[in-house]
Amino acid sequence: MDSNFKQKWEEYRAEFEKALGEYLEGMQVRPQVLSESVRYSLALGGKRVRPVLMFACARALGGKTSDVARFALALEMIHTYSLIHDDLPAMDNDDYRRGKPSNHKVFGEGQAILAGDALLNEAFSVCFEECRNGKTYLNAAAEICKNAGMHGMIAGQAADLFFEGKEAGAAEEEFIILNKTAKMIVSAVTVPALVYGADENIVALFAEFGKHFGFLFQITDDILDVTGDFEKVGKTIGKDAAEEKLSSVRIYGLEKCGEMADQHRDICMRILDELPYDCSFLADLTEYVRSRES
């Protein structure tokens, strides 16, 4: 792994935090409880994997991170809203997120639902403003919207909730991972190619990379739910099993999950090799996710 990898990640993350900070500085929202609840969850931070992926893809394509910074912000808003709603008692019922109390534990369920709604809506406000830059930006915005909605992330979450405690197998789990996790990552890695008007086959390669990166990310997440450490992971461990949620580990067992994660990593690497750009950071990031502890 490139010794500059962590430094590069921090650089991308800092650029994202700067864009987010500027956004929050200009944000004037009433009532105060709405403003505070939205800020609380956006500022919880985390690894910012999706913005980092988007920035890295923009750089690989020879562009600047600032070209896609507003889309990175929109995508992270959508990701953040989905965590707020997922943590609600009626959904995954999780009291902690990134080591801190979940949004609804601080602001109450009603305001948490509204904070999520507000972030989803605001993400698209940001996207509509970007659309004023031209048709390729509209293509990127429409892609983000499609992958987040009822043909993407929401479909995955609805299936995840539906199959809790029910008999279901590999096909259902694949549907859930593809929609709930992978499609948002597909957005992260295709937005730069769409913004720059790259050839269809290039966009398709990025999308394929995003899909397998998403599977790798979710399978390693499922493994960490069994083997992880609360201090490092920042959320309750063992919840999948306790709630009888579908998970890769429940279906395949730990050993097979390790093999599957290896396979998705290998496919990611092959796709990066095929792309006619310097994708070394994306390769390092893929290796990092395979071996992550949080």
Q: Binding residue for a second copy (CB under 8 A) from 11, 17, 117, 266?
A: 117
Span 57-96, contacts to a second copy by CB under 8 A: 81, 85, 88, 90-91
Cα separation of 271 and 18, whole Å? 31
Strand ranges for the chain from DSSP E: 96-97, 100-101
Of 44-52, 105-113, 183-191, 257-265, the window that binds a second copy (rule: CB under 8 A) is 105-113
Q: Is 142 one of the binding residues for a second copy (CB under 8 A)?
A: yes
Q: Binding residue for a second copy (CB under 8 A) from 5, 96, 124, 252?
A: 124
Cα separation of 70 and 60, whole Å? 18
Q: Is 106 one of the binding residues for a second copy (CB under 8 A)?
A: no
Indicate if the alpha-carbon torsion angle 204, 206, 209, 210 is positive or negative. Answer: negative
Q: Which residues contact 10 (CB under 8 A, 6 or more apart)?
A: none
Cα separation of 126 and 119, whole Å? 10
Are 185 and 248 within 8 A, CB to CB? Answer: no
Q: Binding residue for a second copy (CB under 8 A) from 44, 106, 138, 237?
A: 138
Tokens (6 digits) for 103: 């949004």
Residue-by-residue DSSP string for 60-96: HTT--GGGTHHHHHHHHHHHHHHHHHHTSTTTT--SE
Phi-psi region of 165 (alpha: psi -120 to 50; beta: other; left: phi over 0): left
Three-state DSSP state, 40: helix
Span 215-244, contacts to a second copy by CB under 8 A: none
- Tell the smallest beta-carbon distance from residue 291 to a second copy (Å): 33
Q: How many CB atoms lie within 10 A of CB 196?
A: 18
- Tell the smallest beta-carbon distance from residue 244 to a second copy (Å): 15
- Tell the smallest beta-carbon distance from residue 151 to a second copy (Å): 7
- Tell the smallest beta-carbon distance from residue 90 to a second copy (Å): 4
Q: Is 161 one of the binding residues for a second copy (CB under 8 A)?
A: yes
Q: Is 204 one of the binding residues for a second copy (CB under 8 A)?
A: no
Q: Which is nearer to a second copy, 108 or 169 (CB)?
A: 108
- Tell the smallest beta-carbon distance from residue 173 to a second copy (Å): 13
Q: Which is nearer to a second copy, 23 or 288 (CB)?
A: 23
Q: Binding residue for a second copy (CB under 8 A) from 60, 69, 73, 113?
A: 113
Indicate if the alpha-carbon torsion angle 255, 260, 263, 265 is positive or negative. Answer: negative
| φ and ψ at residue 178, rounded to 5 degrees | -55, -45
Span 30-49, contacts to a second copy by CB under 8 A: 30-31, 33-34, 38
Q: Which is nearer to a second copy, 127 or 191 (CB)?
A: 127
* Residues in contact with a second copy by the rule CB under 8 A: 29-31, 33-34, 38, 81, 85, 88, 90-91, 108-111, 113-114, 116-118, 120-122, 124-125, 127-129, 131-132, 138, 141-142, 145-146, 148-151, 154-155, 157-159, 161-162, 175
